[in-house]
Structure 1
Amino acid sequence: MGTITFLLVLSFLVFFHELGHFLAARFFGVKVNVFSIGFGKRIFAKEWKGTTWQFALIPLGGYVQMKGQDDTKPGLVEEGNDSYNTKRPWQRIIILFAGPFANFLLAAILYFAIAIMGATTLAPQVGKVQENSPAFKAGILPNDEILRINNTEIKSWEELGKIITTTQGSLNFFIKRDNQFISKTINPYISDSENMFKEKIKKRMIGISPSGKIVNLDLSFTESIVYAYEKTIFASTMIFQGVQKLIQGIIPSSEIGGVITIGKVISDASESSIIALFAITALISVNLGVLNLLPIPALDGGHIMFNLYEMIVRRKPSDQVFMFLTIMGWVILGSLMLLGIYNDINRIFLKE
């Protein structure tokens, strides 16, 4: 069942990505010859409105084959108003960007659905209080519920942390304890901490940790839209930063996961709840969008880079340069996929 869920989710994400390219191409009048889910040998195909819609044997990706675009034939020229290579560079950039954008849009839709169905978060309830910390000295106790800081209502632990780290000066905490309401003034201190990438940072803190209590967020329609937007932006930023840290060597290459890891995560999420499945699908969709925007030839980002070059210098890169960079792009992608699979297999054997 987990494998089936994995294949369905992956096919859905690929379909949405390629649909973005397809709709943008058709908007500019470009003929799409093939819309494929998967690579390799065709196992099912149907022609509809001039496009062959197909499923291929290897379900780890997909593509739209437009008239006038073929990475294996960089010098290909197909004339006509319905050809990709007769369109202006800015039009081609929009067609290329439409795929990743579709992934970001899908993630936002899924996060919105999560908000409507019942998003959950850590409650702003104190678990442990660090001895001799500002919170300890102010008299904060375990199980205290933090209702407001200064004039800002607090609904989640995330909001609590954001206020503490970004607000200057002392903070006025309004607390609920044993059905009584108490006010405490706390002066945060700067302390050593770690970010999500295990980097050492300095951070304003008061010395408390969450109790672990989970609460449902009661969000209105407008608040759900804001929730979806913020979650999509946060996920995108986190993945962009993750790629940057990986290139800088801060994140070790052993952290790269392959299709086995993705499959297991999706399988586990599907067995947990529909909300968990939506959340991991949204995160993978953002991941797909971000990775496709990397300036690697053979990816959308690489093709966007070629078109930007054409816009600036008023000529296309030579066929030899285009082919060389494209091959290098496939080598990089293939190497990353093999590294991910190698890491997956290592994790399996290490667990055993």
Structure 2
Amino acid sequence: MGTITFLLVLSFLVFFHELGHFLAARYFGVKVHVFSIGFGKQLYAKEWMGTTWQFALVPLGGYVKMKGQDDSNPSLIEEGNDSYNTKKPWQRIIILFAGPFANFLLAAVLYFTIAMMGATTWAAQVGKVQENSPAFHAGILPNDEILRINDTDITSWEDIGKTIVNTDGALKFFIKRDGEIIAKTINPHIADSENMFKEKIKKRMIGISPSGKIITLDLTFSQSLIYAYEKTIFASTMIFQGVQKLISGVVPTSEVGGVISIGKVISDASESSIIALFTITALISVNLGVLNLLPIPALDGGHIMFNLYEMITRRKPSDQVFMFLTIMGWVILGSLMLLGIYNDINRIFLND
């Protein structure tokens, strides 16, 4: 069942990505010969609206084949107003960007759906209080519920961290204890901490940790839109930073996951709850959007760079340069895929 869920989710994400390219191409009048979910041998195909819609043997991706675009033959010229290579560079950039944008949009829709269904988070309830910390000296106790900090209403544990980090000076905490509202003034101190990439950082802290209590957020329609926007932006930023940290060596290559890891995460989420499955699907959708925007020639981001070059210099890169960079791009992508699979297999054996 897990494998089926994985293939359905991946096909769903690929479909939306390619649909973005397809709709943008059709908007600018470009003919699309093939819309494929998967690569390789054709398993099922149907002709509709001048396009062959197909499922192919290898379901780990997909593509739209447009008139006038062929990575394997960059010198291909197909004339006519319905050809990709006769469109202006800015139009081609929109067609290329539409795929990743569709992934970001899908993630936002999924996060919005999660918010309307009842997103869960940690409650703003104190678990442990670190000895000799600012919170300890201010008299904060376990199970205290934090209602407000200064003029900021607190609804979740995440709100506490944001407010402490983004506010200067002393903080006035309004807490609920045994049915009473108590005010406490706390002076945060700068302490050693770690970010999500396990880098050592300095951070304003008061010395408390969450109780672990889970609450369901009761969000209005407008609040759900804000929730979806913030989650999509956060996920995109996190993945961009992760790629940057990987390139700079902060994140070890052993952290790179492959198709096996993705399949396991999706399978586990599907067995947990529909909200967990939606959350993982949204995160992978953002991941696809971000990775496809990387300036690697074989990806959308690489083709966008080629078109930006053409816009600036008023000439296309030579066929030899295009082919060389495209091949290098496929080598990079292939190497990353093999690294991910290698790491996945290593984790399986280590867990055993």
TM-score normalized by the length of structure 1? 1.00
Three-state SS of the structure 1 residue aligned to 2:190 is strand
Amino acid at match of 1:173: F
C-alpha separation between the residues in 2 aligned to 1:14 and 1:292? 12
Tell me the residue number matched to 1:350. Answer: 350
Q: Which residue of 1 aligns with 2:202?
A: 202
Which residue does 1:128 correspond to in 2? 128
In structure 2, stretches of 5+ residues that fail to align are none
Counterparts of 1:72 and 1:183 in 2: how far apart (Å)? 68
> What's the counterpart of residue 250 of structure 2?
250
Please give the secondary structure, in 1, of the residue aligned with 2:137: helix
Alignment partner, residue 333 of structure 1: 333
- Is 1:220 equivalent to 2:214 in the alignment? no
Q: Does 1:188 align with 2:188?
A: yes
Partner of 1:104: 104
1:265: how far off? 0.1
Percent of aligned positions that are identical:
85
Q: Size of the alignment, in residue pairs?
A: 352
Q: Per the alignment, in what secondary structure is the counterpart of residue 128 of structure 1? A: strand
Distance 1:298 1:152 in 2: 47
Q: In 2, distance between residues paired with 1:245 and 1:255?
A: 11
Residue of structure 2 equivalent to 1:28: 28
- What's the offset of the Cα at 1:180? 1.1
Equivalent residues in 2 for 1:57-206, closer than 5 Å? 57-206=57-206
Match runs of 1:200-349 below 5 Å: 200-349=200-349
- Give the Cα separation in 1 of the matches to 2:165 and 2:124: 15
Displacement of 1:189: 0.3
> For residue 43 of structure 1, what is the aligned residue in structure 2?
43
Query: Secondary structure of 2:204's match?
Result: strand
Q: Residue type of the partner of 1:331?
A: V
Partners of 2:191 and 2:24 lie apart in 1 by 50
Provide the secondary structure at the position in 2 that maps to 1:342.
Answer: helix
Aligned-residue offset at 1:147: 0.2
Secondary structure at 1:225's aligned position in 2? helix
Q: What is the CA-CA distance between 1:201 and the residue it aligns to?
A: 0.3
Counterpart residue identity of residue 231, structure 1 = K
Distance in 1 separating the partners of 2:286 and 2:257? 16
CA positional deviation for 1:104? 0.1
Q: What do the CA deviations read for 1:151-209 (whole angstroms, capped 9, x no partner)? A: 11000100100000110000000000011110000000000000000000000000000
Q: TM-score, normalised by structure 2?
A: 1.00
Deviation of residue 221 (structure 1)? 0.2
Deviations 1:255-310 (A, max 9, x none): 00000000000000000000000000000000000000000001000000000000
How far off is 1:120 after superposition? 0.6
CA distance in 2, matches of 1:72, 1:196: 40
Separation in structure 1 between the aligned mates of residue 191 and residue 336 of structure 2, nearest angstrom: 37
CA distance in 2, matches of 1:188, 1:125: 18
Deviations 1:206-256 (A, max 9, x none): 000000000010000000000000000000000000000000000000000
